[in-house]
Amino acid sequence: MAVKIALAGNPNSGKTTLFNALTGSNQFVGNWPGVTVEKKEGKLKGHKDVVIMDLPGIYSLSPYTLEEVVARNYLINERPDVILNIVDGTNIERNLYLSTQLMELGIPVIMAVNMMDVVEKNGDKIHINKLSEKLGCEVVEISALKGTGISKAAEKAVALAQKKTANARVHEFDAVVEKAVEDVENRLDSGVPQEQKRFFAIKLLEKDDKIQEQMKVVPDVSDIIKQLEDSLDDDTESIITNERYVYISSIIGDCCTKNKKSELSVS
C-alpha cells in the first residue's frame, strides 16, 4: 500500500525547496477542489509507492485563511500516514506555533529543522535531542537548499508511517484548561475518531465555527467555555493561544542557544 506523507510548514520555511528536492520532476500540480489554492503532489525519488502531498504554507490551523482551512480539512479528512513538519531553524519560535497544533491531530509527526546551514553559520545552536524530547516527536536537522539530511528525514517519515502510531503526548496545558478540553472531549460522539478528539475539542473550545462543518453532530459546549472564561478572565481563544506560547517559550529556553556575538551585532 502506498505511503502518504503530508509536508506542512510556514510560508518561507523552505517547503518548496524540500518538496522539489525530494520529488524531482515527479510532480503533479493542480488546484484544491473548488478553490484557487495550488495543490502539489509528487512521488518520493526512488520510491514509487511513497506520495508526498505539499500542503499550502500556513502559520496555524485556525480558520482565518483559505490555505489554513484547505490544509486542515485535508489533514482531518484524508488522514495522511505521517506529517513531515518543516520548520525554519532561524525562526524556530514562530514556526513552533503551527507544530504544537499539528501534534494534536493524532497523526504521526516528524520534524525537519531546515536552514541549518544558516543556523550554523550564525554560530547558533539547536539542541535536537532536547527538542525532540520536549515535543514528543523525532527531529532531523536539514538544509533543503544544500540537500543535507533530507534523505534521512524522508526515510524516517516513511518508517514512522509504517509504524502507524501517533506520537505520545508529552505536553499538557494548565490543569483548568486540560479539564475543559477533557469535558468537551466527553461530549463528542463516536463520529469523531478517538485520535482526533483532542483536536476537535480544542477547536470547539476556541469557538471555531468552521470546524462544525467537519462534524456530523456538534455538541453544545457553551457552559464549559463560560466556566473557563470566568475562571481565567479571558476568552478561550486567547487562553489557548497563550498556553501555546508558554509551552513554546519553555522549549526555546531549553533547546536553543543564540550566539551572543550575533545577538550583539544585530542590535
Yes or no: say if 12 and 88 are a contact pair by the CB < 8 Å rule: yes
Q: How far is the CB of 134 from ligand BGO (least distance, A)?
A: 23
Q: Which stretch binds ligand BGO (CB under 6 A): 138-146, 183-191, 209-217, 248-256?
A: 138-146
In the chain, how long is the greatest CA-to-CA distance?
56
How deeply is 127 buried, as exposed, middle or buried, from its count of CB atoms within 10 A (0-12, 13-18, 19+)? middle
Measured from the CB of residue 19, what is the shortest distance to ligand BGO in angstroms? 7
Stretch that binds ligand BGO, among 13-21, 165-173, 193-201, 245-253 (CB under 6 A): 13-21
Number of chain positions touching ligand BGO (CB under 6 A): 16
Nearest to 120 by CA among 148, 159, 161, 82: 148
CB of 144 to ligand BGO, least distance (A): 4
Is beta strand 27-31 parallel, antiparallel or unpaired with respect to 3-9? unpaired
CB of 88 to ligand BGO, least distance (A): 8
16 touching ligand BGO, by CB under 6 A? yes
Interatomic CA distance for residues 3 and 20, integer angstroms: 18
The residue from 26, 37, 45, 117 that contacts ligand BGO (CB under 6 A) is: 117
Whether 193 and 186 have beta carbons less than 8 Å apart is answered as no
| Among 37, 66, 128, 145, interactor with ligand BGO by CB under 6 A | 145
For residues 8 and 184, which CB has a smaller minimum distance to ligand BGO in the complex? 8
183 phi and psi angles, rounded to 5 deg: -60, -40
Is residue 122 close enough to count as binding ligand BGO by CB under 6 A?
no
* Contact call for residues 153 and 142 (beta carbons, < 8 A): yes
* 205-to-71, 225, 257 alpha-carbon distances in Å: 20, 6, 35
Binding of ligand BGO by 14 (CB under 6 A): yes
Residue number with CB closer to ligand BGO (22 or 144): 144
| Angle at alpha carbon of residue 156, lines to 153 and 161, rounded to 5° | 125
All three cell numbers of 121, joined, read 553559520
Q: For ligand BGO, which residue of 3, 8, 15, 208 counts as binding (CB under 6 A)?
A: 15
| Residue 84 contacts ligand BGO per CB under 6 A | no
- From candidates 17, 99, 122, 214, binder to ligand BGO by CB under 6 A: 17
Considering the rule CB under 6 A, would residue 42 count as an interface residue with ligand BGO?
Answer: no
- Least gap, CB of 143 to ligand BGO (angstroms): 4
Q: In what order do the strands lie in the sheet with 27-31?
A: 27-31, 38-43, 50-54, 3-9, 82-88, 109-114, 138-141
Kindly tell me which of 13 and 196 has the beta carbon lying closer to ligand BGO: 13
Q: Which residues bind to ligand BGO, rule: CB under 6 A? A: 9, 11-17, 57, 114-115, 117-118, 143-145
